[in-house]
Structure 1
Amino acid sequence: MFKNISVIDLSTGIAGPYCTKILSDLGANVIKVEPPEGDITRISKPFFNTPGNVNQSIKFSFLNTNKKSITLDLFTSSGLSLAENLIRTIKPHLIVENYGPGGLQKSGLSFETIQSINGFTSLVSISNFGSTGPYRNYKAMEINLQAVSGLMSITGEPDAQPLIAGADIAQLNGGQVAALSCLTYLYKSILTSVGTHADISLMEANIDLLENWMLGAFQGQLMPRRGKRHQSGFPSEVYPCSDGYVSVNASPGPWSEMAELMEDTSLDREEYHERSSRPKYRDQIEPLMTKWLDKNKKKEIFHGAQKRRLAFSYIANARDLLESDQLIDRRFFSNIGTNTHPGTPFKIESTVTDSKEAPSLGEHNQEIYEDLLGIQQDNIRTLVEEKVI
């Protein structure tokens, strides 16, 4: 479905490359244009084998599967000319960038310039706060994005300080939103033959994740952090067990199944069955539950509860996921090169099944500059010497 779609990826870091990773995993032809020193994530820890090697970063490897890499300094006259030639030659459907508001324009490659070269190319610009507004030029890293978008305000225990999520959720979610925007504007350009300039704010992309917290604020209600507890009643929270942690929820099965699972008839009292009144008996129920949980292992608890239609799960770490029979059955993980990678979180015919590992820095310079654009080798050597590529 996407094998005839071409994308130029001018982005660095996480959000932009994750956006184009989704597109490349769908089969799009993505050319990653990196500065001569490489994308910043090429030096991000940890590394597969050789620390500091620009081709060994695990983060870069994850974010850039199925792409081609060329090096190019856009902020030189020769670099701008090459970029324009590349756009003219491959006629990309999409260009993704995250130089910040006005950043790409400083190179001379504005949306208007792109349109004059190829009218149906859409430009997707990703920035921390969007291209307008008083924050447009403010700087932000992952922790700042989680803070300013409100995510940290709902993460952690109610009576403790806010916490940052373990993953780069603000940037990864922003990348997903950008990918959805790419598909939307791609569809529009196919229908109208006219490209669009999309303005993606990572702050705004993540405010959507606040759901009822945000809607409550509109009604004058500031909802507190829930910590390890969920709003769906009691019990619906995280508890320790003999080899880790489990999330416990007595729904949707009947309460009698809970008592049977935990092999304790004292849990099967009539007053415990009514969900709305059960929180009143927390001090009686919880000690009985934790006593049983402490003696059992997380995966045994998980499978035993699920057999009784109780919504339990175990807190999985990365090793648990690698060993998950569910993910193995669905062939979620794939071997790419010499490493194992998470697969795409969707199963459709157009996803790439023979994924290629992330490219080494400038791996496709010859293919693109010499074979595609027809630049002579002597000129390529000069461009290298001048640090244009």
Structure 2
Amino acid sequence: MPGPLDGIRILDMSRILAGPFATQLLGDMGAEVIKVERPGRGDDTRAWGPPFVPGEDGGELPESAYYLSANRNKRSVAVDMSSAKGAEVIRQMAGECDVVIENFKPGGLEKYGLDHDSLRGLYPGLVHCSISGFGHTGPNAHRPGYDLLAQAMSGIMAITGEPEGEPMKVGVGVADVMCGMYAANAIQAALIHRMKTGEGQHIDIALADTTTSWLVNAGTNYLLGGVEERLGNQHPNIVPYQVFKVADGHVIVAAGNDGQFERFCGIIGREDMVRDVRYATNPARLEHREALIAELAEELKLWLKAALIARMEAENVPGGPINTLKEVFDSEQVKAREMRIAMEFPGARGGKVDLIGNPVKFSGTPVEYRRPPPQCGAHTDEVLQELLGQARIEED
């Protein structure tokens, strides 16, 4: 059955991660994605290795693991937009598409005639999504966009890390990933609006804005109560909700309400804590966090990980192990949820590459993995012939 976005064609001029991640999500749901790349060099992330794809001959292919993480279900067209002919070809391709997505700095596409205002005059129904570091307005609009900078300036790093340690970024490029998710969502909303009215529009989305939105309850704690704190693995509003050291490693305990806390105290033989007015309710536990955590830490260091997790599961107290990546991808849960997939990849060792699956599970229109991440320019002639009736670009 066709995916929910079957028939939607996207011209993807974005690079790095946010844009490609957004279009991969949309491609998984059936959209046709045409990736525009610089001839020869292509997407910057192709070279962001090692690791690179292991080759059949024992060497390596040019595509990095980083590139593979965000570029399936696309066709690659290599066009030099800095040439007049190349820019004209891209303009014509945009006219055959429903969506254009790009991540140039504000004003960066005007000289090529590929900015929103230029394309809107030609194609009023076009949805144009611009991804940048800080958006098209405000005093930081001119600044380049990098995940680390967005995490730093949005406040995420200020609340991440140990209380006495240095501010810490999240372990993956979450500013890019979240921006890509917001972009994919916004594009679909704009397409629904166009379906109702026939009107396209411009989506201006910034890494810093989307990462600021990711502050959620921690940000609202500041806005309402002036609370600004870095708690490491602890939760700002729930206690106990953190990592604890046990005799043979570490576990997560996430007692999200008073009932769960009571059952947890029963597991470790400390029913007295429930009767202690300092710990009887979550607001009280929050107020006396330091004393409570010190007591729990002494109790839990005597437990073995497997035994404690088994008891918590039996008593319906949230918690669990801290898995390594090997444990994650070897797990039966990942297998059952199809979160590890294999796709054919020409020239790769064994003819395939392993990728991370899409987390969305549709009952009627399941996601599809139709195309592996493309090699640079692999579909240039094919796409130009299909869209424009020409297989080559006549250079200036």
> Would you say same fold, with TM above 0.5?
yes
Match of 2:297 among 266, 270, 286: 286
Matching residue of 2:70 = 63
Alignment of 1:100-139 (within 5 A): 100-139=105-144
Does the CA contact (< 8 Å) of 2:244 and 2:297 recur in 1?
A: no
How big is the shift at 1:321?
Answer: 1.4
Paired position in structure 2 for 1:188 = 193
Residue 354 of structure 2 is matched in structure 1 by: 340
Who is 1:44 aligned against?
48
- Any unmatched runs of 5+ in structure 1? none
Q: Check the 8 A contact 2:72/2:369 in 1, yes or no.
A: no
1:15 and 1:174 in contact (8 A); partners too: yes
In structure 2, list runs of 5 or more residues that go unmatched.
345-351
The residue type equivalent to 1:296 in the other structure is K
Which residues in structure 2 correspond to 1:86-97 (within 5 Å)? 86-88=93-95, 91-97=96-102
Q: Which residue of the other structure, out of 277, 280, 287, is the alignment partner of 1:274? A: 280
Structure-2 residue corresponding to 1:20: 23
Aligned AA (2:43): D
Flag the 1:86–1:241 CA change in 2: closer, same or farther, 3 A: same
Is 2:159 the counterpart of 1:154?
yes
**What's the CA shift for 1:32?**
0.4
1:258 maps to a residue whose letter is: F
- Taking only aligned residues, the RMSD between alpha carbons, in angstroms, comes to 2.4
- Whether the 8 Å contact between 1:334 and 1:340 is mirrored in structure 2 is yes
Partner of 2:379 in structure 1?
364
Residue 264 of structure 2 corresponds to residue 258 of structure 1 = yes
Q: Can you list the C-alpha shifts for 1:114-159, whole angstroms capped at 9, x where unaligned?
A: 2233221110000000011111111242211100011001101222
Provide the C-alpha distance between the structure 2 equivalents of 1:354 and 1:220, rounded to a whole number of angstroms: 46
**Contact 1:49 1:56 (8 Å CA) reproduced:** no
| Alignment deviations for residues 76-100 of structure 1 (CA, whole Å, 9 cap, x no partner) | 1010111122223xx2111000011
Please tell me the residue identity of whatever aligns with 1:340: D
Q: Is the 8 A contact 1:27 1:350 kept in 2?
A: no
Q: How does 1:291-302 map to 2 (within 5 A)?
A: 291-292=302-303, 295-297=304-306, 301-302=308-309
Quote the residue 1:77 is aligned against. Answer: 84
C-alpha distance 164-238 of structure 1, shift in aligned 2 (>3 A): same
> What's the TM-score, normalizing by structure 1?
0.88
Q: CA deviation at 1:324?
A: 2.4
- What is the alpha-carbon distance in structure 2 between the residues aligned to residue 19 and residue 141 of structure 1? 16
TM-score under structure 2 normalisation? 0.86
Distance 1:53 1:105 in 2: 38
Indicate the larger mover: 157-166 or 38-47.
Answer: 157-166
Q: In structure 2, which of residues 7, 10, 22 is the aligned counterpart of residue 7 of structure 1?
A: 10
Give, in angstroms, the shift of residue 166 of structure 1.
0.6
State the Cα distance separating 1:335 from its structure 2 match.
1.6
Contact in 2 for aligned 1:158/1:227 (Cα 8 Å): yes
CA distance in 2, matches of 1:70, 1:270: 64
Is residue 307 of structure 1 aligned with residue 310 of structure 2?
Answer: no
Q: 1:234, 1:275 within 8 Å by CA — same for their partners in 2? A: no
Q: Secondary structure at the match of 2:301?
A: helix
TM superposition shift of 1:211: 1.8
Identical-residue share of aligned pairs (%) = 28
Q: Deviations over 1:38-88 (max 9, x none)?
A: 000000112122699674211111100101100011121010111122223
Q: Distance in 2 between matches of 1:284 and 1:132?
A: 51
1:166 alignment counterpart: 171
- Give the Cα–Cα distance (whole angstroms) in 1 for the partners of residues 91 and 296 of structure 2: 68
Shift of residue 256, structure 1, vs aligned partner: 5.6
Q: 1:201 aligns with which of 199, 202, 206?
A: 206
Distance in 1, matches of 2:296 and 2:245, equals 15
Secondary structure in structure 1 of the residue aligned to 2:22: helix
